[in-house]
């Protein structure tokens, strides 16, 4: 079974979300700042993973929260507030990439003939790695070279431990598509390790 | 992209990989990969980010003006009342204004003035916002269909 949590948000959590939203809508001092502070981490990571540019990340994250502020009256409390906000963040980042004509996901083979494996493995030399820590650092660099969607999905699933369903509600992708992207990305990363299996056998 | 979407993931293969990477790594490689995935480095928002966004949102809220439906209704009613008052005054005193303007600025000054006012209204009054909104509307609709 999946190791990731797939339980829906509890009634308490939804109740707390609704209470916070009601405070913001009633204009309670500091309520919106509290909302931003609570959810800025996830929003920031979604956008950062998508656009991979510090200045753009800050600007787009601010834009996402301003949209949240404008549309907060539309929040019905059917899902967790963090998913709702992450959905806005994903939408803002996706539109940014579309405007800049940056492909969201990659095809298995690039148009220039360079496969994703080769591109992601660029500079990936595990024989140079003396420890697991260094191997992990190389893997992190390889993940950073994945297409925006793949690295965002890996972040949401493994770092934020969101369930496939929650990721689906954020990205609008079908469960199978998300699993497919995760599967391919992990297989790719695992292949990078396998090519240097000798090192681990030592 | 199509090739990617056409990929039909076998649930058993998914579960096997899931188990290997997250639950119980079979070998050192799986353990390293699982650990690397769980410790993905990421930056944090600046410490003043939340306060900054809240300030910007407050300013944006003020700039947007009245947001409560009741306030908007009252503003509309006030606008209609003012327009009706202006129309009534023009009907009652219009002739006198025409004479006074003709005496002060010459024959035809009122007509040129009205023409200038109409140009101003078309170029920079609510029409522009309306046109801008109309041009932006499809993108906004698309965003919010994708979003919440």
Chain B contact set for A36 (CB, 8 A): 49-50, 53-54
**Residue B53 counted as domain residue:** no
**Residue A1 counted as domain residue:** no
List, for residues A131-167, the tens digit of each pLDDT value: 677 788 888 989 988 999 999 999 999 988 899 999 9
**Residue B138 counted as domain residue:** yes
Residues A44 and A84 in one domain: yes
Residues B137 and B116 in one domain: yes
Residues A82 and A96 in one domain: yes
Q: How many domains does chain A have?
A: 2
Confidence of residue A202 (pLDDT cuts 50, 70, 90): very low
Residues A87 and A110 in one domain: no
**Residue A24 counted as domain residue:** yes
**Residue B95 counted as domain residue:** yes
Residues A116 and A196 in one domain: yes
Residues A135 and A47 in one domain: no
**Residue B77 counted as domain residue:** yes
Reported pTM: 0.66
* Cβ distance of B45 and A58 shorter than 8 Å: yes
* Cβ distance of B32 and A136 shorter than 8 Å: yes
Whether the per-residue pLDDT at B146 is higher than 70: the answer is no
Measured in angstroms, the CA of A69 and the nearest CA of chain B are apart by: 7
Residues A150 and A80 in one domain: no
Closest chain A residue by Cα to residue B13: A183
Chain B contact set for A135 (CB, 8 A): 32, 36
**Residue B141 counted as domain residue:** yes
Domain containing A159 — which CATH number? 1.10.10.10
List, for residues A54-97, the tens digit of each pLDDT value: 899 999 999 999 999 989 988 888 888 999 999 999 999 999 99
Average pLDDT over residues A17-38: 92
Whether the per-residue pLDDT at A112 is higher than 60: the answer is no
**Exposed e or buried b per residue across A135-151, where buried means at least 16 C-beta atoms within 10 angstroms of its C-beta:** bbebbeebbebbbbbbb
Give me the domain span that covers residue B80. Answer: 67-104
Residues A64 and A111 in one domain: no
Give me the domain span that covers residue A13. Answer: 8-102
**Residue A136 counted as domain residue:** yes
pLDDT averaged over chain A? 82
Of the residues A102, A122, A138, the one at which a domain ends: A102
Chain A contact set for B37 (CB, 8 A): 139, 143, 154, 158-159, 186
Helical segments of B1-148, H only: 2-6, 11-18, 28-38, 49-64, 69-105, 109-124, 126-146
Domain containing A39 — which CATH number? 1.10.1740.10
List, for residues B35-78, the tens digit of each pLDDT value: 889 888 888 999 999 999 999 888 876 555 555 667 778 888 89
**Residue A97 counted as domain residue:** yes
Residues A166 and A111 in one domain: yes
- The Cα diameter of chain A in Å comes to 63
Q: Which residues pair with A109 in a beta bridge?
A: A115
* Cβ distance of A176 and B9 shorter than 8 Å: yes
Residues B90 and B122 in one domain: no
- Return the HEC string of A2-66: CCCCCCCCCHHHHHHHHHHHHHHHCCCCCHHHHHHHHHHHHHHHHHHHHHCCHHHHHHHHHHHHH
Chain A contact set for B5 (CB, 8 A): 177, 180
The pLDDT score that the predictor gives to residue B142 is 37
Residues A128 and A185 in one domain: yes
Of A101, A120, A100, residue with least CA distance to A110 = A120
**Residue B136 counted as domain residue:** yes
DSSP string, B43-77: ----TTHHHHHHHHHHHHHHHH---SHHHHHHHHH
* Cβ distance of B54 and A32 shorter than 8 Å: yes
Whether the per-residue pLDDT at B129 is higher than 70: the answer is no
Average pLDDT over residues A14-25: 90
Residues B115 and B128 in one domain: yes
Residues A140 and A61 in one domain: no
Residues A164 and A72 in one domain: no
Q: How far apart are the first and last CA of chain A?
A: 31
The pLDDT score that the predictor gives to residue B64 is 56
**Residue B78 counted as domain residue:** yes
**Residue B143 counted as domain residue:** yes
**Residue A2 counted as domain residue:** no
**Residue A3 counted as domain residue:** no
Q: How many domains does chain B have?
A: 3
**Residue A147 counted as domain residue:** yes
């Amino acid at each position: 079974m999946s190791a990731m949590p797939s339980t829906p948000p509890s009634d308490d959590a939804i109740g707390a979300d609704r209470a916070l939203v009601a405070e913001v809508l009633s204009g309670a001092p500091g309520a919106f700042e509290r909302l931003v502070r609570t959810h800025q981490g996830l929003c920031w990571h979604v956008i950062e993973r998508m656009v991979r540019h510090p200045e753009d990340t800050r600007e787009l994250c601010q834009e996402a929260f301003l949209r949240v502020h404008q549309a907060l009256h539309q929040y019905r409390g059917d899902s967790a507030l963090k998913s709702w906000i992450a959905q806005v963040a994903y939408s803002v980042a996706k539109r940014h990439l579309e405007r800049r004509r940056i492909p969201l996901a990659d095809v298995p083979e690039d148009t220039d003939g360079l496969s994703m494996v080769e591109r992601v493995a660029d500079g990936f030399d595990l024989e140079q790695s003396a420890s697991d820590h260094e191997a992990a650092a190389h893997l992190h660099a390889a993940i950073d070279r994945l297409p925006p969607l793949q690295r965002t999905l890996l972040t949401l699933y493994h770092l934020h431990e969101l369930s496939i369903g929650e990721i689906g509600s954020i990205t609008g992708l079908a469960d199978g598509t998300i699993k497919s992207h995760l599967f391919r990305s992990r297989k790719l990363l695992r292949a990078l390790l396998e090519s240097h299996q000798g090192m681990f056998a030592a | 992209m199509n090739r990617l979407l056409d990929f039909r993931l076998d649930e058993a293969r998914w579960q096997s990989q899931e188990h290997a990477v997250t639950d119980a790594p079979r070998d050192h490689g799986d353990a390293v990969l699982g650990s690397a995935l769980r410790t993905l480095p990421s930056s944090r928002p600046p410490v003043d980010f939340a306060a900054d966004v809240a300030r910007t949102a407050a300013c944006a809220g003020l700039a947007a003006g009245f947001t409560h439906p009741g306030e908007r209704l009252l503003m509309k009613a006030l606008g209609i009342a003012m327009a009706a008052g202006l129309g009534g005054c023009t009907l009652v005193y219009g002739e006198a204004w025409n004479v006074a303007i003709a005496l002060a600025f010459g024959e035809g000054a009122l007509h040129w003035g009205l023409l200038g006012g109409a140009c101003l209204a078309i170029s920079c009054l609510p029409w522009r916002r309306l046109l801008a909104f109309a041009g932006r509307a499809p993108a906004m609709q698309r965003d919010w269909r994708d979003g919440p």
